[in-house]
Each structure stands twice: as C-alpha cells, then as structure tokens.
Amino acid sequence: MVFCTKLQRELPGLDAPPWPGALGRRIYEHVSQDAWEMWEERMKMILNEYRLLPFQKEAQDLVAKHMEEFFFGQDAVLPPGFTPER
C-alpha cells in the first residue's frame, strides 16, 4: 500500500519500480497501481501524438519528462494540438 501522490489516497502500490533509476524508484514508492494504469493510457497518447518509437533515446527522455509531470507536477501538459476523441 502507498499513499498515491496522483490520487491523494492510500491504494495498492506497484510490484516493482516501473522505470529505471531514481524516477522509477520514486514512482514505486509514491504511485498506486490505479494511477500507473492511468499513466499507461496517457503514455500511449503521447507516443502516438508525437509519433515516437519507444526504443529511441529521445522518446524515452520525453516520456520520462511527461511521466514526472503527470505524477508529481502541478498540471500535466498534453501534446500541442491534441484533441481528445469524442
């Protein structure tokens, strides 16, 4: 169980750090499974909108930046020109 910084309540946590390094450890310690599932959907949208390939270093850097903002920033920013499907 963790106190989820994204959802602001005590929820089941992740089984292991989902990302390498300090960011992965921070997410593991402060983000719930529910919030991680929300992030996975956001990450798919980011990869598609920016037309990124997940194995590219530039894509990983951009995803990490958005991930940190999503979980620990004030307002997670959507890619420029993104319009949600109706």
What CATH number should be reported for the domain holding residue 35? 1.10.3880.10
pLDDT of residue 80 exceeding 80, the answer is: no
pLDDT of residue 78 exceeding 60, the answer is: no
Condensed to tens digits (0 to 9), the pLDDT of residues 39-49 reads 999 999 999 99
Looking at the structure of the chain, the number of domains it has is: 1
Q: Does 43 reside within a domain?
A: yes
Nearest to 82 by CA among 40, 38, 49, 44: 49
Q: Does 78 reside within a domain?
A: no
Q: Does 84 reside within a domain?
A: no
63 torsion bin: left (phi>0), alpha (psi -120 to 50), beta (else) = alpha
Residues 17 and 24: beta-carbon distance below 8 Å: yes
pLDDT at res. 74 = 74
Q: Does 77 reside within a domain?
A: no
Nearest to 31 by CA among 86, 84, 71, 78: 71
Q: Does 48 reside within a domain?
A: yes
Range of the domain at 55: 2-72
pLDDT at res. 63 = 95
What's the pTM?
Answer: 0.82
Nearest to 78 by CA among 52, 38, 59, 50: 50
Q: Does 79 reside within a domain?
A: no
pLDDT at res. 46 = 93
What's 80's DSSP letter? Answer: T
Q: Does 80 reside within a domain?
A: no
